[in-house]
Amino acid sequence: PEQGLLGLRSGLGLYANLRPVRPWPALYDASPLRRERIEGTDLLVVRELTGGLYFGERGREPERAFDTCVYTVGEVRRLAEWGFRAAAGRRGRVTSVDKANVLETSRLWREVVSAMAPEHPDVELEHMLVDNAAMQLVSRPADFDVIVTENLFGDVLSDEAAMITGSIGMLPSASLGTGALGMYEPVHGSAPDIAGRGVANPIATVLSAAM
């Protein structure tokens, strides 16, 4: 199933994944985080979808395996543009998440996003290393507005952020590109373990349709 999903994203040119995270007051107590920690959380994860490790050259040999992470300036710019534009219509803050203290692709990422900031003077930009971002998401989620990040980091962080709402299955998402096509879906698939029991919450499907 994962390969089919990756193929759809790549084939349709859907390079930007938007995942809004807004816990519902009625479900505050379903979150593993304390109510006072998640109150007021309203953030958007903008994740790059068609580059990075998931689409790089890979291989397996008897004693080794490798996955290659590659990003171009153009790929970073077009994704970051989504983040800046989204922040301009929200609270005006972008947090660009990378691992620039270790990874060369992240150093490129940070340079490109930093160079774009003057094009969006009404938006405040901060950079955050991914390990720190993972900690801050659970300690002060309400302080984030728009998070912009690459494919793998976005996969992990958006699932972590989803748990603020109490369940990964509660959030909608939109996968978009430069054209009119888009793919809208709950953040995380089906739930066969509760099929037929009448307890599945349809809110993520409804919100995806609304997006």
Per-residue tokens: 152:
């793998």
**Catalytic-labelled residue, pool 15, 71, 98, 99:** 99
Active site residue 42: no
Nearest CA among 83, 26, 19, 57 for reference residue 211? 19
| Residue whose pair of structure tokens reads 């990003």 in the numeric block | 71
- Catalytic entry in 42, 67, 159, 184: 159
- Is 131 among the catalytic positions? yes
Cα 24 to chain centroid, rounded: 19
Per the rule left: phi > 0, alpha: psi between -120 and 50, beta: everything else, 19 is beta
Which residue out of 28, 71, 145, 155 is catalytically annotated?
155
- For the question of residue 28 being annotated catalytic, the response is no
Kind and range of the H or E element at 94? strand 93-98
- Considering the candidates 28, 54, 71, 98, report the single residue annotated as catalytic: 54
Q: Which residues are catalytic?
A: 54, 99, 131, 155, 159
